Structure formats: structure tokens, C-alpha cells
Amino acid sequence: MGKQYRTLEIMQISPNPSVFHLFLNNPSLRNALSVDFYSELPKALTSLDQNPDVNVIILSGYGDHFCSGVDLKSFDSLMMKSQSYAQGRLRERLRREIKSFQDATTAIERCRKPVIAAIHGSCIAGGIDLITACDIRYCTKDAFFCVKEVDLAMNGAFLRLPSIVGYSNAIELALTARKFLGPEAKDLGLVSKVFQSKSALDEGVNAAAEGIAMRSLLAMIGTKESQPKSQRGNRPSPSSEFSYHCRGYTNASSISPVSRELPPSGVVKVNVDAAFNNGNAAAAAVAVDSYGNHLGSGSVCFNTISSNSCRG
């Protein structure tokens, strides 16, 4: 297929011709997720889903990281256009935008072909949204994960994580926003296997994908389609998620101080550059003001889809 988008690339590089790779292709920003990404992801998945030559899809990231979260700068134009909107119109616009982002991630879940996530380096916030929509998740031992809900003192939503790791584990990760590594992700049930290195991960994922691809495609599609109802469990309805999330989003946007609920004083954002450089996700905190606006340099955060994310 070999079609390249701005933020994604589809390639067939496995020995089995029915195994295709979908790469996050923004390595200079550690595969941060942009507006273009959320537009292109459903298109790429549709092309793979409808291609009769595709049996299995491997989702991974170019460069040293799987995904560092959402790229705030790519959303500047959206926020600038929204400044003049009245509150009601602003909330409706953001509801539509957030719904389109959520639908893009859900396109992974709705794809009829099995999707395997191969995770290395960072998998933060929006990256966790992506992998929880996948069918199977593998990672390296040193891969690190972080759910960034509370660092901006904003309410958000995570649709799939509780059904995978359990409510108590999911809410603990969201409220503490702590970093956890591959072995703990395995213990939580977030990933199925942990590999010692990136090369071992690539080898293991390809072996698993090729084994799956040998099975009947119709049987695989039927097996996957029979799972979502039980997998979703007591997941909140999308409409309630959108309403709840838009409330948190607009409270932290640069709209009007009167309309915002103030987060606790002294809230900090994590400088993710420090996490990448020394593995300490709690290092080099960057101060923000009482509205959650960034005051320093080197780290930005954005709250969308099911979590807020930080990127250096």
C-alpha cells in the first residue's frame, strides 16, 4: 500500500504479506498528536479495513517514542477562532471538535481487522487513549506510561482504561498522574507481554501478527465483533462524556476568568523533556498560574479526548 499521510505512514514490511504496519509519523515531536492526525487516522484505518490484502495491523511509532500526547500548538487556530464565541456556542463547537477526536480514536476499536499496539519509549495521555482502543498491546521493559488528568486541575474522561485495568487502578493512575513502566503495565493488564528491548519487541510483535494472520480472516472479524459489548462494561455513554469533558475543557481555556473554576494554587505541570532525558516523569516541574496557564518554557499541556497530555 505504502501510502503516506502527513502524520501517519502505512507500510507492508513483514514477511507475511497480509500484516501491515501503521506508523505514527511525527518523530521530531515524539509522535505528538495533532489536528491533522485526528483527521487522518480514521481515513488510514478505513483504507486498511477495506483492503482485502490486510489481515492484521501493527500500530507503532517512528523514532524513540510511541506517543508523547497531544500537540497543543496544532490546536492554536481552533482556540483562536473560538475566542469570540459566546459560552453556549463555544461549548457546542468544542463538543463537536472533541467528539471528532474521540471518534478518530474509536476508529481503531471499530476496525474489523485485529490491531496490535507496539509501544516503546513514552506513551502519555492521548497515547494511552490510542492503545486502549487496540485489541492487543505489547511494550518494551523501559516503556513508560502516564495518565495526565490532574496536572492541569481539569476534569476529563477516559473511556476504555477502567474496563481494561479496573476502576480502582484506573482512577489511581488518573488522580496521581504518576509514571509507570512496562512491568507494572503488564501487572495491571494494560499490556499482554513485555520485551527486553525495542528489537525484541519488533520481533515478538511481528511473530504474533504473522501467527494471527494465518487464521481465517472471517473468523477473526467475527471474534472481534463479538467482544465490544462485554468489553465496554459500564462505560459512560458518549454523550455524557462529551458534556462532562467540554465543561472541564472550557474551564481551563483562555475564555474569561469569570467563567472558570479555579484549580488549587501551586499546581504544576511536568516538564516531559526531563522524563525523556532521565526517566523521571516528576522532574523539573514547570509553574502555572491559578488558571492553569503555562508560565515557563519547555512543556505544554492540552486536555482532549480522554485526558490532558504534556509535551516538551
Q: State yes or no: pLDDT of 261 exceeds 50.
A: no
CA 43 → CA 40, 87, 134, 145, 266, distances in Å? 5, 32, 16, 27, 42
Q: What average pLDDT does range 24-30 have in this prediction?
A: 93
96, 98, 169, 97: which is closest to 132 by C-alpha? 169
Q: What is the mean pLDDT of the chain?
A: 76
Q: State yes or no: pLDDT of 256 exceeds 80.
A: no
Q: What digits encode the pLDDT tens for the residues 147-165?
A: 986 664 544 447 899 999 9
Compute the distance between CA of residue 27 and CA of residue 31 in angstroms, rounded to an integer.
5
Spatial contact of 92 and 155, defined as CB atoms under 8 Å apart: no
Domain extent listing, the chain: 8-311
Which residue type, as a one-letter code, is found at position 185?
Answer: A
Compute the distance between CA of residue 292 and CA of residue 288 in angstroms, rounded to an integer.
5
Q: What digits encode the pLDDT tens for the residues 123-139?
A: 998 899 999 999 999 99
- The three-state secondary structure class of 138 is strand
CA 292 → CA 93, 169, 268, distances in Å? 22, 26, 8
pLDDT at 243: 46
Q: Which CATH number fits domain 8-311: 1.10.3720.10, 3.30.70.20, 3.40.80.10, 3.90.226.10?
A: 3.90.226.10
Q: State yes or no: pLDDT of 2 exceeds 80.
A: no
Point out the least confidently predicted range of 143-147, 155-159, 204-208: 155-159
Q: What average pLDDT does range 238-255 have in this prediction?
A: 44
CA 309 → CA 117, 147, 206, 213, distances in Å? 19, 8, 29, 34
> Of 29-38, 51-60, 214-223, which one has max mean pLDDT?
51-60
